[in-house]
Structure formats: C-alpha cells, structure tokens
Amino acid sequence: MTDAQIVLTNDDGIDSPGLWAIAEKLALLGDLWIVAPNIQYSGAGRCYFRESEGIIQERENKVSVSNIRAFAVSGSPAQSVFHAIHEILPKTPDLIVSGINYGENLGNIVTSSGTIGAAIEAGGYGIKSVAISLEILPEVGYLNYSENVDFSAAAYFGHKFAWKILENGLPDGVDILKIDVPRTATTATPWRLTRVSRNSEMSKKVNRVSFDQPAHIDWFPCFNNDLIEHDSDIQAVCNESIVSVSPMTIDLTAKNDFSVIMSYLQ
C-alpha cells in the first residue's frame, strides 16, 4: 500500500455492489475515499442538478479493508467529485475511479453516462481517472442492484489499470481510461486499446399514446454491425468479448486541419 489518495465514485449510488466490489481492490493501492451519490443517477452525464441539496453523510465501510472512508452525496456523480476535491479529502487526489457500472458504456452514448461524467469532471481538475463498466444482460436491469452480477473480473481490471496510472501516469492529452469489461470476462481475458465508436451500441424507445402521459425512456442493446469500426470499443466488447480500454481526452476539439474547416466556412 502507498500513500496515494484515491477517490471512488459511481452513478449507480453508494449502495451499489459494483462500487464495493472494486473498493476492496483499490484500497490496496492507497487511502480510499468513497464519495458517491446517495441514490441512482444513471444517465446523469456531467450535470449539476440545481435541485440537489448537496448534503454529505458519512457511511459505514462495507468491506474488510480499514483504510476506507465512505460518504454519500445528495447530488450527481460529477457533484460528488466536486465535493470530494473541495470539501472531503485533505489534499488533491492522485486518481479518481468511477464504477463499476451496471452495464457497458460503449460508443457515442458515453457523454450521457454518469460514470463517464464523473471521470470527465476529474479531468477538468487535471486529475487522471478510470471509468469502468461491466456488460450485463438487459434482463438483469441497468438500474437495480442485482446480486446475480459477478463483478470480480471488472474489479481485477479496474485495480490493474488504476495501479498502472499511479505507477506510470498517463501521457499528456490522455485524461481518462474508459474500461468496458464483457460479461463473460475472467481475469485471463485479453484487453486492447480501442477508440470510442462514433456509433451507438444502445437504442432508446418510449411508449405512450399522448404527450400528457408520463414517459419513461427505455434503453436496450441494438447496433448495426456494418457501421461498427474494427478498432472500436463496441467491436471489442460485443463482437470479440475482450476488454476494451479507450484512452479519452476532455479536449472535444475536432482534430481536422483548421485550414480545411475554414474552406467550408468562408
């Protein structure tokens, strides 16, 4: 164990088994501070809810490792990161880990994800982060705390890459490692670097007959394989069942030559 200061958060809420599955592993790397929403916040992106109270309550450590303190925040994942940095930790954390998420975060839905949103928030403070998600069967449900989900392989890979970042850092321009673990993965499953697909692995639907009815938007896996890039996160997880590790940056600027863009705009 080192003197590293690590923050663990998520978007499924502080009582999520996925969060506690990786907590015990991360505590081997340093002092672990769990700072997570007090309720389910999936799909929150990087938002700050004005209605959030921001109340912080210390919670009981649920695992056997002693160097963990846990705090539940009445706010989004990104807000939890804010409170961790500005109010809870004694100094700026060395690493922020977000997850383990119930369900994969692949392709262009990543900016909708509260798991990724927390990691992006960390990047805004110049803190490297890991966002880790586990593919699950749709019938298990993305918004519950099913005990039928085995997080052990995802916890292994989350610990592995967290350790590497603490040991070696990341190159300039890489702010986040987005890790997606297939549901069939074991600790022996191979991994590779991938790009975030421009396509979506998920589709959305809403069922109602008139606008004045309440609407619930359902998410379900659905993608066109003909559009999936061979080097993408979707290809790795969904088609090859290997672990996807996508290096991400908070710089959203298009990488095109500016002179080419100017030719379209003048």
The label of the residue with tokens 């992006």 reads: 120
**Per-residue pLDDT, 262:** 95
CB atoms within 10 A of CB 74: 18
Give the whole-angstrom CA distance, residue 255 versus residue 14.
Answer: 37
Report which DSSP code applies to 211. T
pLDDT tens digits, 21-32: 999 999 999 999
pLDDT at 139 over 90: no
pLDDT tens digits, 56-91: 999 999 888 889 999 999 999 999 999 999 999 999
Q: Which residue has the higher pLDDT, 50 or 231?
A: 231
pTM of the model: 0.94
In CATH, the architecture of 4-200+227-265 is 3-Layer(aba) Sandwich (3.40)
pLDDT at 1 over 60: no
**Per-residue pLDDT, 98:** 98
pLDDT tens digits, 140-177: 777 778 888 999 999 999 999 999 999 999 999 999 99
Across 181-190, average pLDDT: 98
- 246 in helix, strand or coil? strand
CA angle 88, 92, 94 (to 5 degrees): 115
